[in-house]
Chains A and B, each alone.
Chain A
């Protein structure tokens, strides 16, 4: 099966007066149709910027895609004009579910208007048909009494319901790729579970692929088919979900998993990763993780490690593994 999305050597840099932030610095991955890929990382690791780059929305004017390619079903997105992006891609082929259900809806328009907006913008009907279609989308995301709630404003919805409204807007035009950026992070655990069920249902009903951006290793484990772990603008490890959790190969992935408090393991001392995430304006030489890595060698301090293929679609970028193979 051909991939729906192919990202190759993507570099999105942000040019500030104080220097250049290499927010995304050589990211490559593929996303198969109907697949859910988790993009995991801490704040500043470049996971959100990767999602925004695919939408053609690096922060302006300072941010720019400086290199690489993003192909959606064979069509190159990097370099498309703003007009083509907004008419043919954004909201139509690729849509986004953003993090904060409190701020990503416009407080002065009714929910019905906002869900109908992408339908009208992409010529899928006049005002009346778009409103009818919008009711269907709200029903699809299980908003109770959808028709009656069309004329309500966002503040009349709870956090969980607002996140459903945002999902309805995103899927209104039947996009083939959904980018979900921390959609569950602002929700309580019981609501989180409901929303993850919804994401799965949406995926099954619409057949869309999902790029699921999160910092939560628990949420990613139960939802994603594949996981890519980002650190300092790069993917340091990518594999099927079972391989990431059962046999993590990169010391950063290993450290993250070991440092999580888990249910059933009480009062044990956690294994912590030393140090802090690097300053994006001055990344360490060589492997960006080396100052925090328990296995760092001189080679790690000087040269960036290559990707090592561990078989079965499991790639990790670490000198320990590179030397093992050679």
Chain B
């Protein structure tokens, strides 16, 4: 059974002049326990809003999110509390995600205290997670500014781990870090996942990183999933023209590979007024009359694609 199940989720925001911003517009996917599901897409596609919806930080306009078999919206007080301790997050910027006025010991012990863990156990648990993320126990006495960016991200990971969650939402966990320490943090996340059997929901824009870390992947464009499936299948054989264009555009650290030619034109449209039909059609090199009129449906298993090019096959 899926640990997290997102079903036809929408999140719309009412703007001025009666306009509606469709940040997330009918997205469904499942994450199996112990796996990493990555959501990729460019800025403005709605991937961060989806992360907030999963964390319960944003309200659903419609649709359902099920965690461990239960509808999150229907949980009672105790159930909500349990949910919040079992789903944790690591955010992009370790300079803003840690309170600069709190010592590391406070940052790590707060979740435990809030969940009624005994004081004697708190010390043990803090030492455990610090060791797990590769920091000395003495780090407890210090403030966030006394650490480098990579170490701060380790602290944020330790905070996410301290309640022994089942699911961690990783929202661009390495993109704010220096290039030379990204690999350390990625390796750490993979080690911890293997050790604790964690499930990851990864939000990222870097496709090389996503291919490296994910089991399943969803590609988002303007609030909708345009392609999803096993990441091996999607990376080896991308179907949707947008997925192809994204992969093609990744800058390769190899001067013998020429830069993408004939990439897609133009820019992502506004989520206030998404184009009719397929939302990608204004940028698509293969757009047909049908693409302008009728929205394609995400279909196919295990690799699903929302594109009229594949309607007959």
**Chain A interface residues toward B at CB < 8 A:** 42-43, 158-161, 188-194, 196-197, 215-219, 221-223, 241-242, 245, 252, 255-257, 259-274, 276-277, 292
- Residue of A241, A252, A271 near B183 (CB, 8 A) is A271
Is the CB–CB distance between B212 and A268 below 8 Å? Answer: yes
Contact A256/B209 with A189-B42, A189-B251, A276-B150 known, Cβ cut-off 8 Å: no
- Residue of A42, A263, A292 near B207 (CB, 8 A) is A263
Contact A277/B148 with A222-B257, A222-B259, A272-B183 known, Cβ cut-off 8 Å: yes
CB of B250 within 8 Å of the partner chain: yes
The residue on A at minimum CB distance from B264 is A190
Across-interface contacts of A160 in B (CB, < 8 A): 267
The smallest C-beta distance from B134 to any residue of chain A, in angstroms, reads 10
Across-interface contacts of B151 in A (CB, < 8 A): 276
- Residue of B184, B211, B260, B265 near A261 (CB, 8 A) is B211
Contact A265/B212 with A189-B251, A193-B263 known, Cβ cut-off 8 Å: yes
Most central of B231, B246, B259 by chain A CB within 10 Å:
B259
A292 to B205, CA, bound (A): 29
CB of B247 within 8 Å of the partner chain: yes
The residue on A at minimum CB distance from B42 is A188
Is the CB–CB distance between B211 and A217 below 8 Å? Answer: no
The smallest C-beta distance from B19 to any residue of chain A, in angstroms, reads 17
Is the CB–CB distance between A222 and B251 below 8 Å? Answer: yes
The residue on B at minimum CB distance from A227 is B255
The smallest C-beta distance from B25 to any residue of chain A, in angstroms, reads 19
The smallest C-beta distance from A232 to any residue of chain B, in angstroms, reads 12
Contact A260/B208 with A158-B267, A160-B267, A245-B255 known, Cβ cut-off 8 Å: yes
CB of B81 within 8 Å of the partner chain: no
9 A-B residue pairs with Cβ-Cβ distance under 8 Å, sorted by A, are A159-B43, A188-B43, A188-B205, A189-B42, A218-B252, A221-B255, A222-B251, A255-B180, A263-B252
**Contact residues of B between 28 and 53, Cβ < 8 Å to A:** 42-43
A160 to B268, CA, bound (A): 11
Given contact pairs A189-B205, A262-B212, A269-B190, enumerate 13 new A-B contacts (beta carbons under 8 Å). A189-B251, A190-B263, A193-B251, A221-B253, A222-B259, A256-B179, A261-B206, A261-B209, A263-B235, A265-B212, A272-B184, A273-B181, A276-B181
Is the CB–CB distance between A263 and B211 below 8 Å? Answer: yes
Counting from the closest, the 10 A-B pairs by CB-CB distance are: A218-B251, A272-B183, A259-B183, A188-B42, A261-B212, A270-B183, A276-B148, A222-B259, A189-B249, A42-B178
The residue on A at minimum CB distance from B263 is A193
CB of B245 within 8 Å of the partner chain: yes
Across-interface contacts of A216 in B (CB, < 8 A): 179, 251
The smallest C-beta distance from A226 to any residue of chain B, in angstroms, reads 11
**Contact residues of B between 256 and 312, Cβ < 8 Å to A:** 256-260, 263-265, 267-268
A241 to B252, CA, bound (A): 13
Across-interface contacts of B213 in A (CB, < 8 A): 261, 267
**Chain B interface residues toward A at CB < 8 A:** 42-43, 148-151, 178-184, 186-187, 190, 205-209, 211-213, 231-232, 235, 245-247, 249-260, 263-265, 267-268
Across-interface contacts of A215 in B (CB, < 8 A): 178-179
The smallest C-beta distance from A39 to any residue of chain B, in angstroms, reads 14
The residue on A at minimum CB distance from B251 is A218
Is the CB–CB distance between B252 and A191 below 8 Å? Answer: no
Is the CB–CB distance between B212 and A222 below 8 Å? Answer: no
The smallest C-beta distance from B278 to any residue of chain A, in angstroms, reads 17
The residue on A at minimum CB distance from B180 is A273
Is the CB–CB distance between A270 and B252 below 8 Å? Answer: no
- Residue of B179, B183, B235, B252 near A221 (CB, 8 A) is B252
Across-interface contacts of B246 in A (CB, < 8 A): 189-190
Most central of A189, A223, A245, A270 by chain B CB within 10 Å:
A189
Across-interface contacts of B178 in A (CB, < 8 A): 42-43, 215, 276-277
Across-interface contacts of B251 in A (CB, < 8 A): 189, 192-193, 196, 216, 218-219, 221-222
Is the CB–CB distance between A190 and B42 below 8 Å? Answer: yes
The residue on B at minimum CB distance from A257 is B253
Across-interface contacts of A262 in B (CB, < 8 A): 208, 212, 252-253
Across-interface contacts of B231 in A (CB, < 8 A): 266
A269 to B191, CA, bound (A): 10
- Residue of B179, B186, B263 near A194 (CB, 8 A) is B263
The smallest C-beta distance from B116 to any residue of chain A, in angstroms, reads 36
Is the CB–CB distance between A245 and B253 below 8 Å? Answer: yes
Is the CB–CB distance between B205 and A273 below 8 Å? Answer: no
Across-interface contacts of A241 in B (CB, < 8 A): 255
Contact A256/B208 with A188-B42, A218-B250 known, Cβ cut-off 8 Å: no
Across-interface contacts of B257 in A (CB, < 8 A): 221-222
Contact A270/B258 with A42-B179, A259-B182 known, Cβ cut-off 8 Å: no
Most central of B182, B213, B255, B264 by chain A CB within 10 Å:
B255
A141 to B213, CA, bound (A): 38
Most central of A197, A216, A259, A266 by chain B CB within 10 Å:
A266
Is the CB–CB distance between B253 and A266 below 8 Å? Answer: no
A267 to B187, CA, bound (A): 10
A53 to B302, CA, bound (A): 55
Across-interface contacts of B212 in A (CB, < 8 A): 261-262, 265-268, 270
- Residue of B148, B187, B209, B254 near A269 (CB, 8 A) is B187
A259 to B246, CA, bound (A): 22
A154 to B281, CA, bound (A): 27
Across-interface contacts of B250 in A (CB, < 8 A): 189, 218, 263
Is the CB–CB distance between B260 and A193 below 8 Å? Answer: yes
A236 to B294, CA, bound (A): 56
